[in-house]
Amino acid sequence: MAFENLSSKLQEIFKQLRSKGKLTEKDVQAAMREVRLALLEADVNFKIVKSFIAAVTEKAVGYDVLEGLNPAQQVIKIVNDELIALLGGAQSKLTFSPKPPTVIMSAGLQGAGKTTFCGKLGVSLRRQGRKPLLAACDVYRPAAVKQLQIVGNNFQIPVFAREDSDNPVSIAKSAVDYALANGFDTVVIDTAGRLHINEELMRELRDIKATVRPQEILLVVDAMTGQDAVNVAEAFDAQLGIDGVVVTKLDGDTRGGAALSVRAVTGKPIKYIGVGEKTEDLEPFYPDRMASRILGMGDVLSLIEKAQQNFDDNQARELEKKMLRNDFSLQDFLTQMRQVKKLGPLKNMLGMIPGMQNLKLDEDQLDEKQLDYVEAMILSMTPFERENPSVLNSSRKRRVARGSGRSIQEVNRLLKQFEEMKRLMQQFSGISKGRRGKLNLPFFKN
């Protein structure tokens, strides 16, 4: 998970501050030394670290803070505020041309994830009520056009490509003309990348820019390249002029230093972050929410938005009715579990819940494979058994165990935990009063 190491270290530093009660200037400076080390280990640019620590220290050693009722909390608030400022202050949204089509051009090095980003952005734009068109302008990388067509097909976003031309500038111009003639209000251009920055690449991108006049030029950088991502951003901005940055593969980078540095070094806002392979794993970048995640205070708003995107309203209403009637079946549980899986890795979801980042769950306590095992066991039951689990006798359980490749003990554990879950639902719905239940989700091992 992004910023995992930094987050855990900052939380430990702040825990020590809280334990002191009254703080002295020496306490604050000692804590800032630890924060400095944590940021440097997270691969944050050293100049950014230096200015960040100086700004926090200057505000934190003031009389009002150290003599206040809760100095530790005030220091943490100062760190949070400075972190938000470092990340850009406020969300920077895409801008759209008053006269369609709006042209959004992606740029970046090869392997940064531009093609996948274009597809995910198309899905995001469609959710906003727009009609996007993807333009395949990478004519150099083998099968690049085919890859974008596959991405577009998977995401059900139309793709414009020209087999009769190997001129990216001409293709981009034709794509815009096609969009104008066919009612597409947004064109997302997938451009070629290189393994390194060279004049040929930049000249081509400048020619596309001059021809189609994009409303937004978004630089896609790989978070896992660390400080190289910052260097790439500086070079592209100097030679092309970018409007924003997209940081991909944050889910694979536990340090996160690139995201913290790129905004401060280039002055260009981060507009999106990629945290996984699914369409919903492209997230708008909110500096305040990211700062909250880093400091272990959660990100409930993003979690709610993910749920709203992935949960079916009709199913949710029907599920609520069944809960109130105490009519919740294993089939209902399977449906709900599949929706939860769409939200992304369980570890990432826990990081969005305030306080949950502090839980030190071992891999065997939070094993996402358990979700697949549970699904296999439920699918090995007949529809009648899913609706009426009480009919599962010894012979039926053996059949379910064989069909799912699990043990009878695991089948029994699933059924026991399901009954406990139903009792808890009774308690919350008011059907059963005065009982105490314990929730043991089947994907958490006991």
Please check whether residue 145 is in contact with residue 138, taking contact to mean a CB–CB distance below 8 angstroms. yes
Tens digit of each residue's pLDDT (9 = 90 or more) over 290-316: 888 787 665 455 555 555 555 566 666
For the domain bounded by 4-86, which CATH number is listed?
Answer: 1.20.120.140
Range(s) within the chain of domains with CATH label 1.10.260.30: 307-429
Rounded to an integer, what distance in angstroms lies between the CA atom of residue 119 and that of residue 104? Answer: 12
- Angle between the N-to-C axes of helices 313-324 and 408-429, in degrees from 0 to 180, rounded to the nearest 10: 80
Report whether 223 contacts 249 (CB < 8 A): yes
Question: Residue 356's pLDDT is what?
Answer: 45
Q: Where in the chain is the domain with CATH 3.40.50.300?
A: 102-296
Cα→Cα distances 245→129, 204, 263, 413, Å: 23, 20, 8, 47
Low-confidence residues in the chain, pLDDT < 50: 299, 355-365, 430-446
The pLDDT assigned to 438 comes to 39
Q: Specify whether domain 307-429 bears CATH 3.40.1010.10.
A: no
pLDDT at 182: 95
Element spanning 333, H or E = helix 330-342
- Count of C-beta atoms within a 10 Å radius of residue 366: 17
DSSP state of 269: P
User: What architecture is domain 102-296?
Assistant: 3-Layer(aba) Sandwich (3.40)
Q: What pLDDT sits at residue 420?
A: 76
pLDDT at 45: 84
Q: Where in the chain is the domain with CATH 1.20.120.140?
A: 4-86
Please report the pLDDT score of residue 446 as a whole number: 40
